[in-house]
Structure formats: structure tokens, C-alpha cells
């Protein structure tokens, strides 16, 4: 048992505070909606970060998991299942798919993996659009109209986010997380020290796919409608990448900050300038890559240290950011 | 359905497409070859090339073909600046940092275009847009022939530059071995800037040519970008001649596959090929003949 630090109390306290919100402002539908989406994307950002941040395999194809989860829930719900029971199944379907795809693609070196995932994600979208017998094709699927209240969705998403946080925190501190960090820094060195890199990478992929798939299921119940172009969209994939990167790649709190900013900015800009939020994130991302590779979490950490009067920076933890990622290998050959 | 006439006309269409594919992929190949950076912003410059052509067309009634040549210097400078301002600063960190930087740039370009021109479909109609020529009994749209001709011309010029000028030779030397190039006195940083400029110029150029054949939106480019990846991976990534081979393979596979499957699934072929070739044949098609030789 490691000593309890104030930082490890922050998450439960934040969770309890957020859980109290509907009791105070239960009639404010806008606030509950904002909460729902933010938590849904906190959960997915945290899940994405397990592979993208901890292991350094940046995937642009997570919409495939989200979409599969959404459609699993949709089809089972239409078949008469209660939605809540479909979420684990949605997660499992996404996990199965992640194994099929991850087996071969995770053998590719970093950037090539990223490119391949764009291909996989887009191929899935087009395939689903064409499987109109199952997915409803370009007209989508209408789902039952009997749904729980907004408050229920708020709590459900909060539970998902808490679950994802728990998983991410556990992975980060475990031998598994250390193995992922090692293989991110240098795959060959990690292997030579006995890290089973192939197993670890796939395990990270599956873990995050389960969470994202379940989130897709929750999303489908919330919207009561699924369409291949929305749940399998490239925008869905890059939202997760942006949330994790802006928040802080490989940090525990990064996706939480990232999703919070993502939805606050989107909500603020969407009414007056519907297209500007992605522009804003693009610019933000450029600045982050140039000046603070650990994102908002890195900025907050820096400010925190400054207010505490130049205390020494905390020991580098398992999931550090890009600049910690070991010797760059310029011209590191073709795909492995 | 499978008459000789039919197959031949599909073959001709594939050949014409291959020219376009080669032009839009060369930029990616040059940048990858010199810097080992995957230029995700290629799609953004492709799209911007199309919109700049529209701007020239609306402001000065400039023909898209002329617009393509105007784009060359404009986009060369843009690429040079992007390299100096953004890419070079992250080159020392992981390969992923440059990938993400260029991804961010793509996002910025795309949404900037969305803010300026809106999400509507744009198209450029010229006097010859709907004309077609009869060649040996095939009706071929004039625009396709023009695009193919210009593509061949530009690829010829590129071939000459790469093979016979100092910059071209230095560029190829840097592709083969950056360290050794430095040793013999090649300013590889400068060559990288040139390569990025050249690659971006090609994207802008190809974007102009695309306006002759397709309508476009700010989202346009993503699908072509993935096809370009497929092409350069097929061609063997560091092999400039391989780009032409890869373009031809993709164009022929796509064109003939339509005879067997739904046309709406056509793009899946390129994506599936991309993933399969990356995993099974990372050296691209070139791997096949070099393996036989050894």
C-alpha cells in the first residue's frame, strides 16, 4: 500500500461533488446534457490514453469501437433487451473487433500504426453504410422511445467515467502500465528485459476498446437513434485523439481536463460559430506540441509547482509525455 | 458485361486515373523519403489547392489548368514556411510528434476553409467540362485526358529535376542516407525544406487538377489522402519510381473491382489494401522484385 497523497483524494472528491450536481440543479437540462457528454468523453479519452498515451500507439480509428458498441446496443435493444444489460455486450463486441484488428496492426511501428488505423476506421464506416439490412444504411436506425430520465443518463455517464478513471489509474500504477511505458520508450529494450510487448499492446488495445464500446452503447440509448456516419465518423475518432493530446498525452488527469475543455469550448462556440471549435483545437494542439507536450495537465502541474514555491518536480511516473519518450529514432526504417 | 470492348474501356479509364493518382501521391513520397515524416496535412493542401483554383477562377477567370501552375510556387512557399515554422521544431522528438503536428495543421486548414467558404459543394465548370473525345471508338472526357497529359508532363519534369540537377541529386542522396549526405557537404536541413516545399507544391497542383474532375468541399481530401498512402506504401515508401507503379496498381484494382462489387464500396479497396500491404509487404511492390533478385 502506497502512502496516501492529497492528489489521490482529488478524484473521489471531484466524483462526489459532480454526483451532487443533479440534486442541486436537477431541472437544468442543458447542464445535465453537458455533463453527460463531458463524462462520456472523459471515459473515452481515458480509455484511448491507455493505448495512445501509455503505450504510445496513437490510433485514429476508435470510432470503429464506438460505432460497434452503439450498434450492438441498438440491435439488442430493438430485440427486446433492457439497454443496461447491452452495455457489457457492446464492450465485448468492440473488444473482439479490437483483437482482430490489433493482432496484425499493432505489429506496425508507431506512425504506420496510426495510418493503418485511419484506413481501418474509414473502411468500417463505409462497410457499415453499405450493410443496410443490419445498420439501416444511410437512413440509420430508430430506437425505442422509452428511455430513462436525463438525470439517469448523467449518473450513468459519471459511473462510466469513474470506471474508466479507475482502470486508467490502476493500469498506470501496475506492472502492466510499467511494461507499456517501457515499450513506448524502446520496444526492443523492453523486450530484452522480458516485457511481452505483443501481449501488452493487445491487452491495452482491448482494455480501451471495451470501455469505448460500452460508451458507444450508452450514447445510442441516449440519442435513441444510430447512423453509421455519426457513430463511425472520423470526427468521433479524432475527438478522442484531441481530448487526450490537449489534456496531456499519457497523463492520468489529462483526458479529464481535455474533455472538460473540449465540451465547454464546443458548447460555447457551437451556437454562434459551429465550425470554429475544431479550428480552435487545431491551433491549440499546434501550440501544445511546440511548447508543452504534456498538454493542459503539464501546464496545471507547472502552475501547481510554482505556487508551492519551487518544490522539486515529482518523480517521472509511468505514463509521462511525449518528450520523455526516450531517444527519438530519426529515420527509424519502414514498418516493422 | 465482360466484352473485350468493356474491359478495354475500363482499362483506359484506369490508366487515366493512374496519372492523377501519381501526381497527388508524389508530394507525400518526397516528404516521406527525405524526412521520414508522414504528411497528414497533405489532404489539407490538396483541398486548399482546389479552393485557390476556385479563387483564381472567380477573380480572374483563370482556367483550372493555369491555376494549377500558379499554385506550384504559392504552395512551395507555404510548404517551406510550414517546415521552418512547425515541422523542424518537432523533428527531434519522436516520429509521432511530427505526425501529430501535421495532423493539427490539417485540422486547422480544413476548418479555416470551412469558416471561409462554408460546407457547400463547390465546382468549376469550364467550356470543356462536358466535352468528350472519341478515340478508337471510346468516348473519353476531355478533362480526364487533360489531367492525364498535365500529370505526365509534370512527372516528366520532376523526373528530370530529380535525376539531373544538383538539388534533385542532393534530395535523393538525403533519402538514401542523411548522415552520409551531411558528410559530403549536403545541407540536409535546406534539402528538407525544399522537399517539404516541393511536396506541398505537388499537393496544391493535384488539388487544382482534381477540380476539373470532381466537385469539392473543405472535407475533400481525406479520401484522396488515404489513397495516396496506399499508393506510396504499395510503391515501397522510399522508392520514387514505385509511386507510379503503386498509382497504376491502385487505379487498375479499383476500376476492375467495380465490375464485381457495389461502386459505393470502392474506397474500401484502397483502405483494405493499405492495411494489408503495410502488414504483409512493408517494402511495397518493390520488395517483390528485389527479393527475387537476391
**Regions of chain B where pLDDT drops below 70:** 1-2, 93-95, 283-294
At which residue does the C-alpha cell 447491452 appear? A86
Residue A322's pLDDT is what? 42
Q: With helix as H, strand as E and coil as C, how does chain A read?
A: CCCCCHHHHHHHHHHHHHHHHHHHHCCCHHHHHHHHHHHHHHHHHHHHHHHHHHCCCCCCCCHHHHHHHHHHHHHHHHCCCCHHHHHHHHHHHHHHHHHHHHHHHCCCCHHHHHHHHHHHHHHHHHHHHHCHHHHCHHHCEECCCCCCCHHHHHHHHHHHHHHHHHHHHHHHHCHHHHHHHHHHHCHHHHHHCCCCHHHHHHHHHHHHHHHHHHHHHHHHHHHCEECHHHHCCHHHHHHHHHHHHHHHCCCCCHHHHHHHHHHHHHHHHHHHCCCHHHHHHHHHHHHHHHHCCCHHHHHHHHHHHHHCCCCCCCCCCCCCCHHHCCCCCCCCCCCC
> Confidence band (pLDDT; 50, 70, 90) for A325?
very low
Q: Which residues 255-284 in chain B show a CB within 8 A of chain A?
A: 262, 264-265, 267-268, 270-272, 274-275, 278-279, 282-283
> Confidence band (pLDDT; 50, 70, 90) for A216?
very high
Average pLDDT over residues A94-98: 94
Record the cell numbers describing residue A336, joined without a space.
Answer: 516493422
Average pLDDT over residues A35-58: 90
Residue B27's pLDDT is what? 86
Give the global pTM. 0.83
Distance from CA of A34 to the nearest CA of B (A): 23
The residue count for chain A: 336
Per-residue pLDDT reduced to its tens digit, A51-64: 988 888 889 989 99
Per-residue pLDDT reduced to its tens digit, A262-275: 887 777 777 777 66
A101, A105, A274, A275: best to mutate for the B interface, most B CBs within 10 A: A275
Residue B45's pLDDT is what? 92
Does the pLDDT at position A6 exceed 70? no
User: Smallest Cβ distance to A286: which of B86, B229, B275?
Assistant: B86
* Run of H or E including B133: strand B132-135
Residue A164's pLDDT is what? 92
At which residue does the C-alpha cell 522510399 appear? B238
The set of residues, in sequence order, having a beta carbon less than 8 Å from that of A190 and lying 6+ positions away, is: A179, A182, A183, A197
DSSP code per residue over B6-70:
HHHHHHHHHHHHHHHHHHHHHHHHHHHHHH----TTHHHHHHHHHHHHHHHHHHH---HHHHHHH
Q: Which residues 82-111 in chain A show a CB within 8 A of chain B?
A: 104-105, 107-108, 110-111
Q: Which residues of B touch A108 (CB under 8 A)?
A: 278-279
**Domain tally, chain B:** 1
Residue A321's pLDDT is what? 41
Task: Supply the mean pLDDT for chain A.
Answer: 81
Tell me the C-alpha distance between A211 and A220, whole Å: 14
Per-residue pLDDT reduced to its tens digit, B18-60: 888 888 888 888 888 888 888 888 889 999 999 998 899 888 8
Average pLDDT over residues A106-123: 85
> Confidence band (pLDDT; 50, 70, 90) for A331?
very low
Nearest to A18 by CA among A173, A170, A147, A154: A154
ipTM (interface predicted TM): 0.82
Q: Which residues of B touch A279 (CB under 8 A)?
A: 107-108, 111-112, 114-115
The helix/strand/coil state of B81 is: helix
Q: Which residues of A touch B268 (CB under 8 A)?
A: 123, 126-127
| C-beta atoms of A334 and B283 within 8 A | yes
Which domain, by its residues, includes B110? 4-293
Residue A214's pLDDT is what? 93
Distance from CA of B109 to the nearest CA of A (A): 8
Per-residue pLDDT reduced to its tens digit, A275-284: 677 788 888 8
Tell me the C-alpha distance between B230 and B234, whole Å: 6
- The 8-class DSSP code of residue B135 comes to E
Tell me the C-alpha distance between A319 and A48, whole Å: 13
**Could you tell me if A255 and A62 are in contact, meaning their C-beta atoms sit under 8 angstroms apart?**
no
CA of B239: which chain A residue's CA is closest? Answer: A334
> Confidence band (pLDDT; 50, 70, 90) for A328?
very low
| C-beta atoms of A286 and B119 within 8 A | no
* Run of H or E including B194: helix B188-213
Q: Which residues of A touch B274 (CB under 8 A)?
A: 115-116, 119
Per-residue pLDDT reduced to its tens digit, A284-324: 888 888 888 788 888 888 888 888 765 555 544 444 444 33
Tell me the C-alpha distance between A112 and B233, whole Å: 10
Tell me the C-alpha distance between A233 and B62, whole Å: 36
> Confidence band (pLDDT; 50, 70, 90) for A48?
very high
Residue B152's pLDDT is what? 87
**Beta-ladder partners of B134:** B139
Q: Which residue has the higher pLDDT, A229 or A333?
A: A229
- What CATH number is associated with residue B15? 1.10.3470
Amino acid at each position: 500500500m502506497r502512502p496516501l497523497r492529497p492528489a489521490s483524494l482529488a478524484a473521489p472528491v471531484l466524483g462526489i461533488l459532480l454526483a451532487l450536481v443533479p440534486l442541486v440543479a436537477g431541472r437544468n437540462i442543458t447542464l445535465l446534457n453537458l455533463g453527460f457528454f463531458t463524462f462520456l468523453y472523459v471515459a473515452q479519452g481515458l480509455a484511448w490514453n491507455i493505448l495512445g498515451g501509455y503505450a504510445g500507439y496513437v490510433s485514429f480509428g476508435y470510432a470503429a469501437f464506438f460505432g460497434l458498441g452503439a450498434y450492438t446496443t441498438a440491435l439488442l435493444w430493438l430485440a427486446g433487451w433492457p439497454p443496461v444489460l447491452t452495455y457489457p455486450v457492446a464492450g465485448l463486441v468492440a473488444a473482439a473487433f479490437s483483437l482482430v484488428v490489433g493482432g496484425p496492426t499493432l505489429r506496425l511501428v508507431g506512425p504506420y500504426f496510426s495510418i493503418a488505423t485511419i484506413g481501418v476506421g474509414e473502411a468500417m464506416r463505409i462497410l457499415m453504410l453499405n450493410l443496410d439490412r443490419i445498420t439501416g444504411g444511410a437512413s440509420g436506425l430508430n430506437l425505442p422511445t422509452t428511455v430513462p430520465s436525463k438525470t439517469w443518463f448523467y449518473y450513468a455517464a459519471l459511473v462510466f467515467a469513474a470506471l474508466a478513471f479507475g482502470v486508467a489509474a490502476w493500469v498506470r500504477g501496475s506492472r502492466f502500465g510499467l511494461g507499456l511505458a517501457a515499450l513506448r520508450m524502446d520496444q526492443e529494450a523492453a523486450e530484452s528485459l522480458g516485457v511481452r510487448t505483443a501481449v501488452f499492446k493487445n491487452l491495452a488495445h482491448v482494455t480501451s476498446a471495451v470501455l469505448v464500446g460500452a460508451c458507444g452503447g450508452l450514447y445510442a440509448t441516449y440519442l435513441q437513434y444510430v447512423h453509421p456516419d455519426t457513430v463511425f465518423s472520423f470526427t468521433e475518432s479524432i475527438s478522442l485523439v484531441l481530448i487526450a493530446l490537449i489534456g496531456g498525452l499519457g497523463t492520468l488527469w489529462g483526458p479529464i481536463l481535455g474533455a472538460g475543455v473540449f465540451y465547454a469550448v464546443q458548447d460555447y462556440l457551437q451556437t454562434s460559430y459551429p465550425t470554429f471549435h475544431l479550428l480552435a483545437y487545431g491551433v491549440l494542439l499546434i501550440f501544445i506540441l511546440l511548447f508543452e507536450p504534456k498538454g493542459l495537465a503539464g501546464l496545471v502541474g507547472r502552475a501547481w509547482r510554482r505556487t508551492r514555491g519551487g518544490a522539486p518536480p515529482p518523480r517521472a511516473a509511468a505514463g509521462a509525455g511525449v518528450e520523455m519518450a526516450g531517444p527519438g529514432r530519426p529515420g527509424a526504417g519502414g514498418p516493422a | 458485361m465482360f466484352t473485350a470492348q468493356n474491359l478495354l474501356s475500363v482499362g483506359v479509364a484506369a490508366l487515366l486515373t493512374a496519372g492523377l493518382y501519381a501526381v497527388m501521391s508524389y508530394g507525400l513520397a518526397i516528404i516521406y523519403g527525405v524526412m521520414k515524416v508522414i504528411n497528414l496535412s497533405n489532404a489539407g493542401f490538396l483541398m486548399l489547392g482546389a479552393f485557390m483554383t476556385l479563387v483564381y477562377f472567380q477573380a480572374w477567370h483563370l482556367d483550372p489548368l493555369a491555376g494549377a501552375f500558379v499554385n506550384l510556387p504559392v504552395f512551395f512557399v507555404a510548404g517551406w514556411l510550414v517546415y521552418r515554422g512547425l515541422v523542424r521544431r518537432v523533428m527531434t522528438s519522436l516520429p509521432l510528434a511530427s505526425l501529430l503536428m501535421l495532423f493539427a495543421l490539417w485540422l486547422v486548414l480544413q476548418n479555416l476553409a470551412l469558416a471561409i467558404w462554408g460546407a457547400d459543394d463547390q465546382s468549376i465548370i469550364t467550356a470543356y467540362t462536358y466535352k468528350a473525345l472519341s478515340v478508337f471508338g471510346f468516348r473519353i472526357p476531355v478533362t480526364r485526358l487533360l489531367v492525364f497529359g498535365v500529370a505526365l508532363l509534370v512527372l516528366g519534369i520532376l523526373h528530370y529535376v530529380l535525376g539531373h540537377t544538383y538539388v534533385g541529386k542532393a534530395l535523393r542522396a538525403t533519402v538514401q542516407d542523411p548522415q552520409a549526405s551531411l558528410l559530403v557537404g549536403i545541407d540536409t536541413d535546406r534539402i528538407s525544406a525544399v522537399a517539404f516545399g516541393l511536396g506541398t507544391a505537388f499537393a496544391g497542383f493535384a488539388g487544382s487538377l482534381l477540380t476539373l474532375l470532381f466537385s469539392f468541399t473543405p472535407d475533400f481530401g481525406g479520401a484522396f489522402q488515404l489513397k495516396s498512402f496506399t499508393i506510396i506504401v504499395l510503391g515501397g515508401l522510399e522508392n520514387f519510381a514505385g509511386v507510379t507503379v503503386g498509382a497504376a496498381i491502385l487505379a487498375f484494382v479499383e476500376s476492375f473491382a467495380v465490375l464485381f462489387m457495389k461502386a459505393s464500396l470502392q474506397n474500401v479497396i484502397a483502405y483494405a489494401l493499405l492495411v494489408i500491404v503495410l502488414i504483409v509487404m512493408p517494402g511495397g511492390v518493390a520488395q517483390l522484385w528485389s527479393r527475387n533478385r537476391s
